[in-house]
Chains A and B, each alone.
Chain A
Amino acid sequence: MNLILFTFIVLLGFTSYYFGRKKAYTIQSTKKRLTALPQFYGYYLAIWCAIPAFIIFSLWAIFEPTIVKLLVLNDYSNQGYLDDELNLIYEKTKALSRGQFTGEITPFIEASAEKYLSLRSIAQSSKVVIVLTIIIASVAYAYKRISSNSRTREPVEKFLNAVLFTASLAAILTTIGIVFSLIFQTIDFFKVIPLFDFVFGTHWYPAKAFVRDSSEALDPSMYSDTFGAVPIFAGTFFIAFIAMCVAIPIGLMSGIYLAEYASSKVRQYAKPLIEILAGIPTVVYGFFAALTVGPFLKELGTSMGLEVSAESALAAGGVMGIMIIPFISSLSDDVITSVPQSLRDGSYAMGATKSETIKRVIFPAALPGIVGSILLGVSRAIGETMIVVMASGLAANLTLNPLESTSTITAQIVVILIGDQAFGDPKTQAAFALGMSLFLVTLCLNIVALRVVKKYREKYE
């Protein structure tokens, strides 16, 4: 029904565009000067058709369900039901009217289901009537305006400008959405678990919080020593550290080589090949780490008499490092190439070799940009999920031994939220609290890194 109405309105919009343009031509044929190109007359009418339709549709979508619910539940209003019970009755009513109700059908619910259906059909038909009348009225009004040859280009362009502006708000809305979705759950979480226990506690066993009978009331003392995030934070930074140990030397040296030594032919092929590493999906790296690198390290360690876990931090961190190589190499390549040639020439003129020039002149000059690229790499390592979920352990050990398994913020979020979630459960809320801390840490890193890179760019541009 809605679809038919929608198609009809779209068709109406096209027709009004056509009529507006035609009107412009007739005005033109009377030797009057048009105030804008003929198609603007058409756009003007079409916009006057689209805006009211859009407004009514959204108002309806917001208010119809609430009003129908109020009217249906009106019958039960003075029978002393609680809010929860009323909601349940309403859900049953809706299910019955869709024919999906499986429980016992009482005459009461049957009556309200009938009422629900009739209200819905009244709402539908009144919507059609109202939408069509208002559209026709507004198009008629606009048609009268263009008949008197008043301005059409300015309003149309103003409208387009407003649309463009609204689209540019999408980024802000997304950020607000992220903060919004994280903050409420996080606040609820810290109502049960004290912030101090979360930040300084050293035991993380969220599974313990799940062995709770749902009829039992929330008892905060049960959760003491369950949600201490120190092992998680430590594991996150530890794995990121291992990753950077792999990524920084290889990434930086290949960036330097590509920028300073490589012939244009080597550069032309090597650079895109290295960048392929950044385009491979992380789940593929995770599979590689879990199936190839992990067992390989274990075998290697056993042959050397070391005890290596099959899900070691080393395997996850090492593979993550490979993934980050191209981020560091490309960015540092960029910053090194943008160091002015005059600095190099000056150094060569003093008799320095190429490597001396790089180490003593170019590297210090490019340092801010390189630091920025490394910080971006760290932020990526901290936020990386699939490699850790698949290749590192899921139990949160507090350890600094790279051969043992550890867990990270991202892996814990996935472990907690995979499958069905019960909102309102401290365990689910813990995942959001972890997400909040992840968001804040990476946000700080990104802001600093972007600042540094931007400052550096301005220096040489």
Chain B
Amino acid sequence: MNKNKEQLLNKRYKAEQRFRLYGQSAIFMALLFLTIFIFKIFSTGYSAFQKTWLIVPVNFDAELMMLDENPTKQDIEDADYYEIALQSMWNLDPNANEDQQNQLKRMVSYFFEREIKQELLKDPNLLGKTKEVYLTASDDLDQVFKGNYPRDLPEDQRRVSDYQLKIFDQLVANGNVESKFNISFFTNADSREAELAGIASSFMGSIFSILVCLMIAFPVAVLAAIYLEEFAPKNRFTDFIEVNINNLAAVPSIVFGLLGLGVLLAIFQLPRSTPLVGGITLSLMTLPTIIIAARASLKAVPPSIREAALAMGASRMQTTMHHTVPLSMPGTLSGTIIGLAQALGETAPLILIGMVAFVNTIPGSPMDPAASLPVQIYIWAESAERGFVEKVSACIMVLLGFLIIMNLFAQIIRHKFEKKWS
């Protein structure tokens, strides 16, 4: 009998331990996913911040460029650089046949003559001389140099030919290949060529959308929260508003995209693909989040504050505007920042209102067509070129960086400025 009891107790203790272990492993799993996730993004993305350059001697031959003895600045601007650019690539292998010459040209980026032109514009005295110029390597060679490209595949399955690899290896052996910090990733707009594509246009698109979103959502949400928390009578209509807000907070984001498409674009005829429409759509989405946060922080202001103000003869409006609302601002602001961080990461509604269009200019106002950072991630992720994979990861790193900064900021506001009532 006694032995049985002991066995039972042991069994129960074992069950206890097992249960505890389940809990621990669940937490462990969740954290493991997070780690794998972040590790994967960083390990594929960090190399995008470096860019490979080929150092190629260029002969600035005035004759080939159709320039005369003393060209003006305008002449240099208008000159033909394609010929000398082509010549300088061909000179890497004087014995190349026509097909190989073609391959030589494809070793550098698509717009390589522009880089040569920049060089001459910087120093017009180079005319007629030869200088070693840094040219952006093609994205495939860039990947080869970074070690991301399998060189041992059979030639017909590679985008880089054996011949290109041979010339490239010669350049590497002579020290004519260099890897430098990739500034163009931050200053260029999107491009079809992976080695030239940058995030400037989508970054500006994101900034404009978020600003529009902030300018609409913040005032409306704060005013609505003040009404609902401080002035609204308790009746069926205000209950209905409340149910509405809670439901809107859980409506899938793509439905807001359909709203933007069906109402903002089709009925109000606002310009397609613009951060203006994107911002309005996002603001409708963040509205409930901010309202809920603002109401919670208004509720947290103790009634004694209101009673004191009312006792001093302030009207209800004065009490609210002078005392309750300023005291609730830290909570409201941090809720707003968190709502904006959500909006910043949103993709689906922006795709529906056409912000996936290929934009190779940097937008200057919310009325210009633009993409946004998450949409840029989507566009690049759908591209076939290998060079875009690391770009996507790098773009994700930039986006995550912004989200972390925004969330930290919200935390700081909350902890630094919020009054603790006890």
- Asked if A226 is an interface residue, CB under 8 A from chain B, the answer is no
- Asked if A210 is an interface residue, CB under 8 A from chain B, the answer is no
- Asked if B227 is an interface residue, CB under 8 A from chain A, the answer is yes
In chain A, residues 304-359, which have Cβ atoms closer than 8 Å to a Cβ of chain B?
A: 322, 325-326, 329, 353-356, 358-359
Q: Is the CB of B381 within 8 A of A385?
A: no
Q: For A152, what are the chain B residues with a Cβ–Cβ distance below 8 Å? A: none
Chain A interface mostly: helix
Q: Is the CB of B20 within 8 A of A355?
A: yes
- Asked if B181 is an interface residue, CB under 8 A from chain A, the answer is no
B226: nearest chain-A partner, CB-CB: A164
Q: Is the CB of B244 within 8 A of A175?
A: yes
B377: nearest chain-A partner, CB-CB: A283
A174: nearest chain-B partner, CB-CB: B284
Q: For B241, what are the chain A residues with a Cβ–Cβ distance below 8 Å? A: 168-169, 171-172
Contact among B26, B378, B393 for A253, CB-based, below 8 A: B26
Q: Is the CB of B261 within 8 A of A385?
A: no
Q: Is the CB of B347 within 8 A of A274?
A: no
In chain A, residues 166-210, which have Cβ atoms closer than 8 Å to a Cβ of chain B?
A: 167-172, 174-175, 177-178, 180-182, 184-185
A227-261 interface code vs B (CB 8 A; 1 in, 0 out): 00000000000000000000001111110111011
Q: Is the CB of B30 within 8 A of A167?
A: no
Q: For A354, what are the chain B residues with a Cβ–Cβ distance below 8 Å? A: 16, 19-20
Chain B interface mostly: helix
Bound-state CA distance A449–B243 (Å) is 12
Contact among B27, B220, B392 for A287, CB-based, below 8 A: B392
Bound-state CA distance A270–B377 (Å) is 29
Contact among B31, B253, B315, B375 for A385, CB-based, below 8 A: B253
Q: Is the CB of B247 within 8 A of A281?
A: no
- Most-contacted residue by chain B among A177, A252, A354 (CB, 10 A): A177
- In the complex where A170-B220, A270-B31 touch, is A181 in contact with B258 (Cβ < 8 A)? yes
- Asked if A423 is an interface residue, CB under 8 A from chain B, the answer is yes
Q: For A443, what are the chain B residues with a Cβ–Cβ distance below 8 Å? A: 247, 251
A273-294 interface code vs B (CB 8 A; 1 in, 0 out): 1101101111110111011100
Q: Is the CB of B244 within 8 A of A172?
A: yes
CB distance from A378 to the nearest CB of B (A): 11
Q: For B399, what are the chain A residues with a Cβ–Cβ distance below 8 Å? A: 281, 284
Which of B153-161, B348-356, B414-422 lies on the face that meets chain A? B348-356
- Asked if A373 is an interface residue, CB under 8 A from chain B, the answer is no
A175: nearest chain-B partner, CB-CB: B244
Bound-state CA distance A438–B23 (Å) is 34
Q: For B245, what are the chain A residues with a Cβ–Cβ distance below 8 Å? A: 171
CB distance from B418 to the nearest CB of A (A): 17
- Asked if B151 is an interface residue, CB under 8 A from chain A, the answer is no
- In the complex where A280-B400, A281-B403, A447-B247 touch, is A170 in contact with B255 (Cβ < 8 A)? no
Which of B33-41, B136-144, B299-307, B362-370 lies on the face that meets chain A? B33-41
Q: Is the CB of B248 within 8 A of A385?
A: no
- Asked if B173 is an interface residue, CB under 8 A from chain A, the answer is no
Q: For B244, what are the chain A residues with a Cβ–Cβ distance below 8 Å? A: 171-172, 175
Bound-state CA distance A285–B266 (Å) is 31
CB distance from A215 to the nearest CB of B (A): 24
CB distance from B188 to the nearest CB of A (A): 21
Q: Is the CB of A329 within 8 A of B30?
A: yes
- Asked if B224 is an interface residue, CB under 8 A from chain A, the answer is yes
CB distance from A232 to the nearest CB of B (A): 14
Contact among B31, B41, B246, B258 for A274, CB-based, below 8 A: B31
Contact among B41, B220, B288, B345 for A167, CB-based, below 8 A: B220
- Asked if A413 is an interface residue, CB under 8 A from chain B, the answer is yes
Q: For B25, what are the chain A residues with a Cβ–Cβ distance below 8 Å? A: 253
B338: nearest chain-A partner, CB-CB: A279
CB distance from B210 to the nearest CB of A (A): 13
Contact among A353, A379, A423 for B266, CB-based, below 8 A: A423
Q: What number of A-B contacts does a CB cutoff of 8 Å give?
A: 257
Bound-state CA distance A421–B15 (Å) is 59
A354: nearest chain-B partner, CB-CB: B16
Bound-state CA distance A349–B232 (Å) is 47
CB distance from A71 to the nearest CB of B (A): 21
Bound-state CA distance A182–B261 (Å) is 10
CB distance from A242 to the nearest CB of B (A): 15
Which of A18-26, A106-114, A153-161 lies on the face that meets chain B? A153-161
- In the complex where A153-B315, A181-B259 touch, is A383 in contact with B252 (Cβ < 8 A)? yes
Contact among A253, A359, A413 for B254, CB-based, below 8 A: A413
Contact among B31, B40, B263 for A292, CB-based, below 8 A: B40
Q: Is the CB of B254 within 8 A of A274?
A: no
B321: nearest chain-A partner, CB-CB: A160
- Asked if B341 is an interface residue, CB under 8 A from chain A, the answer is yes
Bound-state CA distance A161–B22 (Å) is 54
Q: Is the CB of B317 within 8 A of A157?
A: yes
Contact among B15, B31, B347, B381 for A273, CB-based, below 8 A: B31
- Asked if A439 is an interface residue, CB under 8 A from chain B, the answer is yes
- Asked if A366 is an interface residue, CB under 8 A from chain B, the answer is no
Q: Is the CB of A281 within 8 A of B345?
A: yes
Q: Is the CB of A291 within 8 A of B356?
A: no
Q: Is the CB of A446 within 8 A of B250?
A: yes
Q: Is the CB of B30 within 8 A of A178?
A: no
- Asked if B85 is an interface residue, CB under 8 A from chain A, the answer is no
Bound-state CA distance A270–B26 (Å) is 11
- Asked if B407 is an interface residue, CB under 8 A from chain A, the answer is yes
Q: Is the CB of A385 within 8 A of B223?
A: no
- Asked if A442 is an interface residue, CB under 8 A from chain B, the answer is yes
In chain A, residues 355-386, which have Cβ atoms closer than 8 Å to a Cβ of chain B?
A: 355-356, 358-359, 376, 379-380, 382-386
B233-248 interface code vs A (CB 8 A; 1 in, 0 out): 0000000110111111
Q: Is the CB of A410 within 8 A of B254?
A: yes
Bound-state CA distance A261–B262 (Å) is 50
B260: nearest chain-A partner, CB-CB: A181
What are the 10 tightest A-B residue pairs by CB atom distance, in nearest-first order? A383-B252, A257-B23, A181-B262, A281-B345, A167-B223, A253-B26, A355-B19, A164-B227, A385-B348, A168-B224
- For this complex, 26 residue pairs linking A to B, each with C-beta atoms less than 8 Å apart, are A164-B224, A164-B226, A167-B224, A168-B224, A170-B220, A171-B244, A171-B288, A175-B244, A180-B263, A257-B27, A279-B341, A280-B400, A281-B345, A281-B377, A281-B399, A283-B375, A286-B378, A291-B389, A325-B30, A383-B252, A417-B258, A438-B252, A438-B254, A442-B251, A442-B252, A446-B247
